[in-house]
Chain A
Amino acid sequence: MNIVLFAPSGATASAIRQLAPDPERDRITVVSRAAPDADVHSIVLQPALMSLTRSAERALGGSAAGRNLLRLSPLDPGRRFSGAARHHRELRARVAAADLIVALERDGILAAWKSVRRWAGADAKAVYGIAPARTLLAAARD
């Protein structure tokens, strides 16, 4: 299976362990903004305005209201990450070939959601979270 994981932090080692990919049959691509902590093919995006975004996160991330305000602003880390993914040719190809697309983190949801809408095949599955990804992978193998 071709699997694309959206994890901006790059922390995917645990998730990949849980997926237990078959090295012969499964091909994993991690989409992140930091080098992933797992030895897999990765697409590291460079969102614009990240230093401003981090400042805004520090200022607003301490409360639910602040986090919601940030989500609605142009400095929302999810929006920035999604923006960086928009014109990435390799990502487009990987998503188009994917059987399973997984958003592992909240800041990866919008990029995953838009990628699915734009580029994914009609049969590709797309989920948020590692548990449903594991279930779908197991079902596909049965």
Chain B
Amino acid sequence: MASVTMACPRDAADLVALVAAARAGATRLALCGGGSKAAFGAVPTGPVTRVDMRGFAGIVDYDPAELVLTVRPGTPLAEVETLLAAHGQMLAFEPFDHGPIHGCAGGAATIGGVIAAGVAGSRRLSRGQARDHLLGFAAVSGRGEAFVAGARVTKNVTGYDLPKIACGSWGRMFALTELHVKTLPRAEMQQTLVIDGLNPAAAVLAMSRALGSQGAVAAAAHDPIARRTALRLEGFAASVAARRALLEGLLADTGVLGALDADAATAFWQGFRDLAALADAPLLWRVIVPAGHAPGLIEALELTGARWLMDWAGGLLWVGTRADGALRSLVEAAGGHADLVRADAATRGRIPARHPQAPAVAALEARVRRAFDPDGVFETGRFGDS
């Protein structure tokens, strides 16, 4: 078991000192926010300093008309969402708290953790990933240098687009100290339309037809337990009504398109955030696949006893399994990749959390990480390589 010490930096200078000490000594720095995703990846094997980033908290600047929020990464996600909602805005990529997935209480997730893990919810289908909404950041690199990247304006091509690699960087390469995030207006209304009784292939086809229409579907998911396929419409009331009529006509040959009441709709989409339907699966995978290949993959996975939920119109499968088995090879054969989100510590020590890359890409990725963190200060062994 690795020895773990704790650090609670308050500013960039503290982080610079921590990095310098780590480079001089043998310890590695494990960045953490609220700990909602602490059970993702392997348990560190060497001496580690756990760096609690929640000292970097608070809203720095928010002018709703600019559609930009500047926030420190340790700020709770819930606080950010409450602030934006009070101004009729939102994070359009629909990030969510991973605590419940790992059997923890909700409310601990931070905006920095959301960005570092590249978390996006059901609306990713229409509005993009976290990476599409991070405009700029400040950070301290593994070289022990404070730097900024991107900017606080939405349209910017000055220099490399480093915010893209910050999203999903999992605290490797650099420690984020400030974020410039794009905000967007919250829709006047939401309505969830459902078709019941479809099999996976019919569900994917129905969702594809809806997305290929002028229905402007915000989110599309399929719950196999209820055999329920859902299309979420968002926007101004007049527009939602018009698009509902359009979709009812378009999908009339598929089934009756009913509308969920507000509570039922909330519960349906909540099921794709807390993944309660897969709560008892020992292993939980996040599978990204071309939507058209999802039905075939599901068929193959079901033969292994896997259970699943389908979001992003088939582009995202949450898959619960008993053992790791052949899942990754089946997913690769379908043109996708799979992250291991939840497993016992022994399994996480054996199976890398992130899907292994082609050798040339893995080598390139390692060189990119080294460009920011030449000594591997932020490499704790959590992601296998160091």
Q: Are A and B interaction partners?
A: no
